[in-house]
Amino acid sequence: MWGLRGRPDGLHPGPGSGSDAPGPGYSAPEPVRLLPEAGRLRQSRDRGIQRSFPTAFAWRQWPHGRLQSSRLCSAIEKDGGDVKALYRRSQALEKLGRLDQAVLDLQRCVSLEPKNKVFQEALRSIGGQIQEKVRYMSSTDAKVEQMFQILLDPQEKGTEKKQKASQNLVVLAREDAGAEKIFRNNGVQLLQRLLDTGEADLMLAALRTLVGICSEHQSRTVATLSVLGTRRVVFILGVENQAVSLAACHLLQVMFDALKEGVRKGFRGKEGAIIVDPARELKVLISNLLELLTEVGVSGQGRDNALALLIKTVPRKSLKDPNNSLTLWVIDQGLRKILEVGGSVQEPPGALTVTANSRMSASILLNKLFDDLKCDAERENFHRLCENYIKSWFEDQGLAGKLRAIQTVSCLLQGPCDAGNRALELSGVMETVIALCASEREEEQLVAVEALIHAAGKAKRASFITANGVSLLKDLYKRSEKDSIRIRALVGLCKLGSAGGTDFSMKQFAEGSTLKLAKQCRKWLCNDQIDAGTRRWAVEGLAYLTFDADVKEEFVEDEAALKALFQLSRSEERSVLFAVASGLVNCTNSYDYEEPDPKMVELAKYAKQHVPEQHPKDKPSFVRARVKKLLAAGVVSALTCMVKTESPVLTNSCRELLARVFLALVEEAEDRGTVVAQGGGKALLPLALEGTDVGQTKAAQALAKLTITSNPEMTFPGERIYEVVRPLVSLLHLNCSGLQNFEALMALTNLAGISERLRQKIVKEKAVPMIEGYMFEEHEMIRRAATECMCNLAMSKEVQDLFEAEGNDRLKLLVLYSGEDDDLLRRAAAGGLAMLTSVRPSLCGRIPQVTTHWLEILQALLLSSNQELQHRGAVVVLNMVEASREIASTLMESEVLEILSVLARGKEGPVTRAAVACLGKAVEYGLIKPNQDGQ
């Protein structure tokens, strides 16, 4: 046994070291060498390593360190049981921070001298250090520090390591605790350094991490904007890298939501409580977005993202909200900037960089702003600002200014058409459009012809252009050598040719002209050599021409044209979506059409008024055939891709058109399997939850049809099945048609029979009162469907409580319906009655109280030739007999006893078993006695 005195760390400093000299009783160790690691450490002159291991270098400086290293290593090599050398090496390793290796040496020492308290204490101490280190390394703080250390290390060349670190940082930020740790550990400043690098991967990691920090947390959002700077965050949108621009767009959307909604789940401690004015912060953000729109050098993708953010953020989400002050502020501060994007042309040098979707996005934003206005004074201000802007270009800037003005008018005609029509009436505008159509320059012709096409939207304007511009468009179509001009002139002719809509009697052109136009449109559509932006106009032309049933028939027969159409709908050319949807609505006849009253038709003819006529090929048989051809061509896959589009072009009106097409596709039960197999069920859910009221209703009805005929668990797998409930319940409102009510009830019946969780979801959506209301409906099919739905819902405890509550007639209604003539209604009501009396015996005693005809109804059920009705009646009687001796006595004193006796002798089955059980219970009560043969 040997002891250690002198230095507190137990290391022997060697002779001649003053106050550190060994005390009495201390025997110097044998000459040994230091361990190789310490020797290499001593030889190192790298200052970076010295900074990383200061304790090791401090230990190294005491005298004879090199000699000690060699001696330790030599001693351990010669004698693995030299506890002194092992102990000293463990102390050296501890100073170097290599605790795992130091523990091994100490464990060896303890195994050699188990009673040595110095070794035991040292082992406990180093064990505590290891646990503390493990605890810290597993903490969020350590993870955050480690990730930033890797990402900000300029010497770190391993891209894979940096990529993993960035991914881990993003994952940490998604959890609220991780986001708070990053925020509190100077994370925003460190993320700012990542943004400063300019490397796309690091910028993406920083932006995605900031999304987690700002998500649903107002105070952190304000602090982040304060550190990074609002202008800087917004102008990241304008970078050329598309992924970075999209990530910045997502971050800004999260910031907008946080400022609008406030803190919902975020940190609420006093340290995070920042008193701000959300309206002011919102305006600062929006002001910077508006400034970005007209900033030179901003990428077209960034400009589109800025427009998309303004579309989502500025207008009111619901017209029930009375506050539209943000819209008014944007109109006053930024309407000219939005019009500048919408009226941009590529020809002048230094013009704004725009994409194929920029002008359409500007039109959508202008339309939403105009729709958000509440009174004539606000609309008049909008018109005045638009007209002043157009005049400023039209009157003072020469030909280039006139082109900008006309392009702006086109933008308005595609958005707030009232403002566009008023702009067309400005002095000289329409005349300039007609004149520029004859220009020899392609750019000028393009602008003028597009304006002419958009101007033909209204009947009044279309009649003027028909009289003055048809010959010009025909001349352009025939003589121009540019496909881009010819195709636009053709679209203008198509639009004018379809002015009569679906009215077969109103033909603008000679017989066969529309078919020739459609054939040329299909030819251009199928030409892969033409760019997508030009082919889009061919789809526009077909969207107008497909009002004609002859064109519809030829179009669905052209498989190549259909495939080209669907392929174009999946391309980056998003502005084609509305035209594709319009054409499909026309081909499937899914627009609203009501058969005119014959008496009113006769009256109109007598008064010499025009009566619309339907084309013979628009009859249901032709429509069904066209639908099947579209399904075979893959229309569902195309529609699914269109629904997933993240673009402002997918407006609520476009969503409504897609919902109409889906409803037409699922009209026939045999086609629904194809729609489900190609992802139609999944695509219908967002259409049923967002869009116009009509569009949501159409999509919900299509969901109902799928739920009725298909297994809902396969049609809507996983958690998606619970999202179907709300759209179906919306069809129960009184403003929906009887067919929609009926189909919703049928679909809810299927869902209610699947699981208790689904029944709870239906109850939570407040569907039970509406279902009860339809149980009183005069229409027998609706009344029956509501009763069947209630029968399935009766398995839920909440619904059972409603029936058991005092002072209601719910039970009475089921008893009375069990005696109706309609067997299907009786089956549903009796099934509900059997279910309720099984789980709530107290209801059995109330059946004789609800009506005096209860015995007759039960007897009729038991005597029914329908086995299902017989079984339900027998179960109800059995439940009543088991519930109370008094009720059983009443039943046995009636003709029910005789009926049960007959049924008990019948063929083995559920009815016979229930009858035998009833009689057995009556025998147990002593109400009847068994026969001599024991029966």
Write down the mean pLDDT value for the chain.
80
Q: What is the distance between the alpha carbons of residues 406 and 119, in angstroms, rounded to a whole number?
A: 91
Angle at the Cα of 295 from the Cα atoms of 293 and 298, rounded to 5 degrees: 85
**DSSP per position, 327-388:** HHHHHHHHHHHHHHHHT--SSSTTPPP--TTHHHHHHHHHHHHHHT--SHHHHHHHHHHHHH
Residue 44 has what pLDDT? 38
| Listed residue (787, 761, 791) closest to 772, CA to CA | 787
| Least confident span in 263-277, 529-543, 579-593, 809-823 | 263-277
| pLDDT-wise least confident of 114-118, 130-134, 352-356, 412-416 | 130-134
State the average pLDDT over residues 857-883.
91
Which of the given ranges, 19-23, 399-403, 813-817, has the highest pLDDT on average? 813-817
pLDDT at 1 (0 to 100): 33
Q: How many residues would you count in the chain?
A: 935
Predicted pLDDT of residue 691: 87
445 touches 464 (CB < 8 A) = no
* Number of other residues whose CB lies within 10 A of the CB of residue 880: 24
Mapped onto helix, strand or coil, the DSSP state of residue 661 is helix
| Per-residue DSSP letter, 35 | P
Residue 60 has pLDDT above 80, yes or no: no
Q: Is the pLDDT of residue 158 over 60?
A: no
Given a cut of 70, is residue 4 above it in pLDDT? no
pLDDT per position as a tens digit, 489-507: 888 877 776 654 444 444 4
Q: Say which DSSP state 352 is in.
A: P
Torsion region of 81: left, alpha or beta (phi above 0 gives left; psi -120 to 50 gives alpha):
alpha
- pLDDT score, position 665: 94
How far is residue 827's CA from residue 821's CA, in Å, rounded to a whole number? Answer: 11
For residue 684, is pLDDT > 90?
A: yes
Q: For residue 775, what pLDDT is reported?
A: 93
Both structure tokens of 622: 């032709």
**Across 3-17, 534-548, 810-824, least confident range:** 3-17
Q: Considering only residues 605 and 241, tell me which one the structure prediction assigns the higher pLDDT.
A: 241
Q: What is the mean pLDDT of residues 895-911?
A: 88
* Structural domains of the chain sorted by starting position, each given as residue range(s) with its CATH number in brackets: 65-138 (1.25.40.10), 844-934 (no CATH)
Identify the residue with better confidence: 216 or 23: 216
User: Cα separation of 897 and 877, whole Å?
Assistant: 11
Residue 480's pLDDT is 79
pLDDT beyond 70 at 576: yes
Q: How confident is the model at residue 306 (pLDDT cuts 50, 70, 90)?
A: very high
pLDDT of 739 over the 60 cut:
yes
> For residue 211, which of 176, 263, 261 has the smallest C-alpha distance?
176
| Whether the Cβ atoms of residue 449 and residue 403 lie closer than 8 Å to each other | no
Largest CA distance in the chain: 134
Give one DSSP letter per residue of 728-757, joined into a string: HHHTTSTTS-HHHHHHHHHHHHHHHTT-HH
Q: Which of 15-24, 71-80, 639-648 has the highest mean pLDDT?
A: 639-648
The whole-number average pLDDT for the span 592-608 is 65
Residue 153 banded pLDDT, cuts 50, 70, 90: low
Confidence of residue 702 (pLDDT cuts 50, 70, 90): very high
Q: Other C-beta atoms within 10 Å of 838: how many?
A: 16
pLDDT band at 383 (very low <50, low <70, confident <90, very high): very high
Mean pLDDT of 451-471: 66
pLDDT attached to residue 146: 66
pLDDT of residue 707: 94
* pLDDT exceeds 80 at position 255: yes
Q: Given the structure tokens 């190609």, which residue do they identify?
A: 678
**Dihedral of CA 736/739/745/748: which sign?**
negative
Q: Show the DSSP H helices in 754-796 as ranges.
A: 756-764, 768-774, 780-793
pLDDT digits (tens, 9 = 90+) for 384-437: 999 999 998 888 778 888 888 999 999 998 889 888 888 888 888 888 888 888
Q: Can you give the pTM of this predicted structure?
A: 0.76
Residues 6+ apart with CB under 8 A from 920: none
- Residue spans of beta strands (DSSP E) within 484-557: none
Q: What is the pLDDT of residues 917-934, one digit of tens each?
A: 999 888 888 888 876 555
Confidence at 276, pLDDT banded by 50, 70, 90? low
Structure tokens belonging to residue 395:
């009157």
Overall average pLDDT of the 673-688 stretch: 92
Residue 16 has pLDDT above 70, yes or no: no
Lowest average pLDDT, out of 128-132, 521-525, 541-545, 691-695, goes to 128-132
Assess whether pLDDT exceeds 90 at residue 658.
Answer: yes
Question: Cα–Cα distance between 508 and 469 in angstroms, integer?
Answer: 14
What 3-state class would DSSP assign to 502? coil
Most confident of the ranges 18-22, 108-112, 497-501, 609-613: 108-112
Structure confidence at residue 10 as a pLDDT band (50, 70, 90) = very low
What is d(CA 868, CA 864) in angstroms, rounded to the nearest whole number? 9
